[in-house]
Structure 1
Amino acid sequence: MTIIPTPLEGCLIIKPRIFNDDRGYFFESFNQQRFAEATGFNISFVQDNQSYSTKGVLRGLHLQRGEFSQAKLVRVTKGAVLDVAVDLRKGSATYGQYCSVILSEENNEQFFIPRGFAHGFIVLSDEAVFQYKCDNYYDKASEGGLHYADPDLNIDWQLSGSDVLVSDKDIELPFLKDAPDFGF
């Protein structure tokens, strides 16, 4: 695997080593030992999640607060998404900044997002299957997030207006300037 740092400390793009032949391809999507050696993060993932969405669906920006915060390793197995992480770590040099990466079934890249970040994605293809590993269990009472269209974040989601489908719950999320302390 190849590790590509992003401008946000701890957020990493992971490119797998893909073995192609006339039958198709093979790659190792996760190996705990290799991940720890390559990234320096000794993380135990305890929960795998998967979602299916259609073009324009925007999920985010989500997080788990306090002791239930989660690091995530995300990937797309069908279609393509623009994946976004926002640094919410108090005292971080990049607090309130975001980075984005296109994840697709063609590039097979993964995005590692450490604890202390809000996370979201928008589907760019007709359909997408999105998978992610979490290092902590989901806790409904610890849910939090930021409004996807926060003008201070100024995220370029690559789609806009009537092309974007957002849940009522996500529309209700606060802007960063109005958000509570997330405990990072």
Structure 2
Amino acid sequence: MKIRPLSIDGAWEISPEQHADPRGMFTEWYRHDRLAVAVGHPLRLAQGNLSVSARGVVRGIHFADVPPGQAKYVTCVRGAVMDVVVDVRTGSPTFGQWEMVRLDEADRRAVYLSEGLGHGFCALTDDATLSYLCSATYNPAAEHTVHPLDSELAITWPAGHPLLSARDAAAPSLTEARAAGLLPEYQACRSFTASLNSSATPRRAEGDHP
């Protein structure tokens, strides 16, 4: 398993090793110990989600108040999506920037994004199925959206006519969300994750096995 940081602080791409033979395939798509070594603390698993989307559906950009925020470990178990991490943390050196990672059933990559980051994706296939591991349970009062087609973000979604939910279509722009005080603050997010790091003592991970 290879874990590399993305260009946005607090986000990582995970590439698992796949073991294939005539019977099929095996992979460790999530390792709490390896992730903890890279991130600095284990994922506090509180909820698991499964999302199925038709081709051209765009979901996001979603984020939660910090604390407690909601860290996510996302992988695609069927089909393919273009996953997007957006830095919506005011005061961040990469505020307003985004990065895309293709997640699919072939390479079986995953993305981890820490508390305070925005997340969205575009389904590249019908029945694109995402599995999320989340650090906090769903709390609608503390969760927010930024419009995925916001011209300020200028995300290059790979869909000619993106299909949005009513909630996402009515979401504010990044500027509007900032003016309304909805966005998390970068230093507050760093302080929160630092508190998680200080309470964790991750051990060095052992090797993968088939």
Given the two structures, how large is their TM-score scaled by the length of structure 2? 0.82
Give, as a single letter, the amino acid of the residue that structure 1 aligns with 2:184. Answer: G
Residue 160 of structure 2 corresponds to residue 134 of structure 1 = no
The answer (yes or no) to whether the contact 1:88–1:95 under 8 Å persists in 2 is yes
Equivalent pairs counted in the alignment come to: 182
The answer (yes or no) to whether the contact 2:88–2:184 under 8 Å persists in 1 is no
What is the aligned partner in structure 1 of residue 163 from structure 2? 165
Alignment root-mean-square deviation, CA: 1.3
What is the aligned partner in structure 2 of residue 79 from structure 1? 79
**Aligned pairs (5 A) from 1:50-61:** 50-61=50-61
Q: Shift in Å at residue 175 of structure 1?
A: 0.5
Q: Distance in 2 between matches of 1:25 and 1:110?
A: 17
**1:141-168 Cα shifts (integer Å, max 9, x gaps):** 112010011111110011122xx21111
Percent identity, aligned pairs only, is 37
Which stretch of structure 1 is more off in the superposition, 33-42 or 115-124? 33-42
**Aligned pairs (5 A) from 1:1-150:** 1-150=1-150
**CA separation of 1:183 and 1:6: change in aligned 2, threshold 3 A:** closer
What is the aligned partner in structure 1 of residue 206 from structure 2? none
Residue 181 of structure 2 corresponds to residue 183 of structure 1 = no
Give, as a single letter, the amino acid of the residue that structure 1 aligns with 2:84. Answer: V
SS at match of 1:67: coil
Q: Gaps spanning 5+ residues in structure 1: where? A: none
Q: Gaps spanning 5+ residues in structure 2: where? A: 186-210
Q: Distance in 2 between matches of 1:33 and 1:133?
A: 15
Of structures 1 and 2, the larger Rg is shown by 2
The structure with the largest strand share of the pair is 1
SS at match of 2:118: strand
Give, as a single letter, the amino acid of the residue that structure 2 aligns with 1:25. Answer: M
